[in-house]
Chain A
Amino acid sequence: GESVGLHLPTLSVQEGDNSIINCAYSNSASDYFIWYKQESGKGPQFIIDIRSNMDKRQGQRVTVLLNKTVKHLSLQIAATQPGDSAVYFCAEGGNQGGKLIFGQGTELSVKP
């Protein structure tokens, strides 16, 4: 089913620390997962994606981990910066018609 958020979980970290944002996805048939960053008043911005045939993928300062057994996805941000403050959404795809199902999101707040 679709994930619907009634309120956003928040994560507060100190600048320079690592951040870990978690997401539980709903559809076992999903084979493509994406993390998006959304700043206030803007559209989602692609961060990193991963296919279901992988369990880890690294980008610049970001790593995505996929655990298909428990349908869990995580985003790790190294050396978190104030500019990383935003809402982060996971999305699952590979479903009919190319649709994406978004998770509820996590609001990341970075303290300088």
Chain B
Amino acid sequence: GAVVSQHPSWVICKSGTSVKIECRSLDFQATTMFWYRQFPKQSLMLMATSNEGSKATYEQGVEKDKFLINHASLTLSTLTVTSAHPEDSSFYICSASGQVGNEQFFGPGTRLTVL
């Protein structure tokens, strides 16, 4: 149990376009989802915390207008990278939690490459 999926697993886009990444909890209801970004050879950096039905809480330094997060249901959260630039190329990972403070279950990640 506690499986989290992400789609797509990888995406290549042109600079200036927008890309949407989906995060789904497949066998549990996720009241909270988290979005992380990971650059090569570095740690996971939390971007934002998303609670179902409410606005996401962004970490300091993360542009909320550039990284749009929607958590419209208890099993789906989406991250849209708007007007992507090459420096947005990274590995984006989501995690889901059934309750605040409980264990986070991680998705397999999405590799974004912006040309």
Residues of A with Cβ closer than 8 Å to B?
A: 2-8, 32, 34, 36, 41-46, 49, 89, 93-94, 97-105
Contacts and interface: CB of A to CB of B under 8 A. Distances in A.
Contact of A43 (B32, B43, B109): B109
Interface string B56-90: 01000000000000000000000000000000000
B20 to A, nearest CB: 18
Interface of B: 4, 6, 32, 34, 41-46, 49, 57, 91, 93, 95, 97, 99-109, 111
A42 B109 contact: yes
B103 A6 contact: no
Given A5-B42, A5-B43, A98 B102 contact: yes
Contact of A100 (B6, B46, B100): B46
Contacts of B44: 44, 89, 102
A98 B43 contact: no
Contacts of A2: 45-46
A34 B102 CA distance: 12
Contacts of B34: 99-100
Most buried by A among B41, B97, B109: B41
Nearest to B4: A43
Contacts of B41: 5, 7-8
A4 B109 contact: no
A104 B106 CA distance: 18
B46 A99 contact: yes
Contacts of B4: 43
Contacts of B106: 36, 43-46
